[in-house]
Chain A
Amino acid sequence: GENVEQHPSTLSVQEGDSAVIKCTYSDSASNYFPWYKQELGKRPQLIIDIRSNVGEKKDQRIAVTLNKTAKHFSLHITETQPEDSAVYFCAASPYDYKLSFGAGTTVTVRA
Chain B
Amino acid sequence: NAGVTQTPKFRVLKTGQSMTLLCAQDMNHEYMYWYRQDPGMGLRLIHYSVGEGTTAKGEVPDGYNVSRLKKQNFLLGLESAAPSQTSVYFCASSGRTGLGAFFGQGTRLTVV
Interface-forming stretch among B12-20, B39-47, B72-80? B39-47
A89-B42, A103-B40 known; A43 vs B98 contact (CB < 8 Å): no
A interface size (C-beta, 8 A): 22
* B interface size (C-beta, 8 A): 26
Task: Name B27-62 residues within 8 Å CB distance of A.
Answer: 30-31, 33, 35, 40-45, 48, 50, 58-59
B-side interface mostly: loop
A14 at the interface (CB under 8 A from B): no
Given the known inter-chain contacts A96-B96, A97-B31, A97-B48, please indicate yes or no for A46 contacting B42, CB distance below 8 A. no
Contacting pair A101 B42 (CB below 8 A)? yes
B106: chain A residues within 8 A (beta carbon): 43
Give the residues in chain A near B41, CB-CB below 8 Å: 103
Residues from chain B with a CB closer than 8 A to the CB of A99 are 33, 45, 101
Alpha-carbon separation in the docked complex, A111 to B94 (Å): 36
Which residue of chain B lies nearest to A44 when distances are taken between CB atoms in the complex?
B103
Chain A residues with Cβ below 8 Å from B42 are: 6, 89, 101-104
Q: How far is the CA of A49 from the CA of B103 in the complex (A)?
A: 16
The CA-CA distance from A42 to B50 in the complex, in Å, is: 26
Contact of A98 among B44, B48, B99, B105 (CB under 8 A): B48
Give Cα distance in the complex from A97 to B58, angstroms: 12
* Nearest-Cβ distance from residue A8 to partner chain B, whole angstroms: 13
Q: What are 27 A-B residue pairs whose CB atoms fall within 8 Å in the complex?
A: A1-B59, A9-B40, A42-B105, A43-B103, A43-B104, A43-B105, A43-B106, A44-B90, A44-B103, A45-B103, A46-B99, A49-B99, A49-B100, A96-B94, A96-B96, A97-B30, A97-B48, A97-B94, A98-B58, A99-B33, A100-B59, A101-B35, A101-B43, A101-B44, A103-B40, A103-B42, A104-B42
